[in-house]
Amino acid sequence: HSPFPEWRWSPYFRLGAGKIQTKPRANLVQSGEETRSNDLLSASVGVRYYLTQNFVLKLEYQNLVVLTERDENEELEEWKLGFAVFF
């Protein structure tokens, strides 16, 4: 969601959910394990800076939580810096 899309510095946030499938490699873990499927939740905040009407610079922080069957869920953090061009 972008509450102020008309601003030159435009903040936004995202919420997401999905599934992640992990297929173990035989050389890393025992070959008896099958492909695992876990639920995934994500939340992001970021800012877009419009250099011009067709050029955008974007900075985003994303937090991901993988809901596993074990006692402890896996938590991942991700920073992104990007550049977009519109024609």
- Which among 16, 2, 86, 11 has a CA at the least distance from the CA of 47? 11
Q: Is the pLDDT of residue 82 over 60?
A: yes
Instruction: Supply the mean pLDDT for the chain.
Output: 87
Condensed to tens digits (0 to 9), the pLDDT of residues 42-65 reads 999 999 999 988 899 999 999 999
Count of Cβ atoms closer than 10 Å to residue 46 Cβ = 19
- Which among 35, 32, 5 has a CA at the least distance from the CA of 19? 35
Burial degree of 76 (CB within 10 A; 0-12, 13-18, 19+)? exposed
Specify the pTM: 0.73
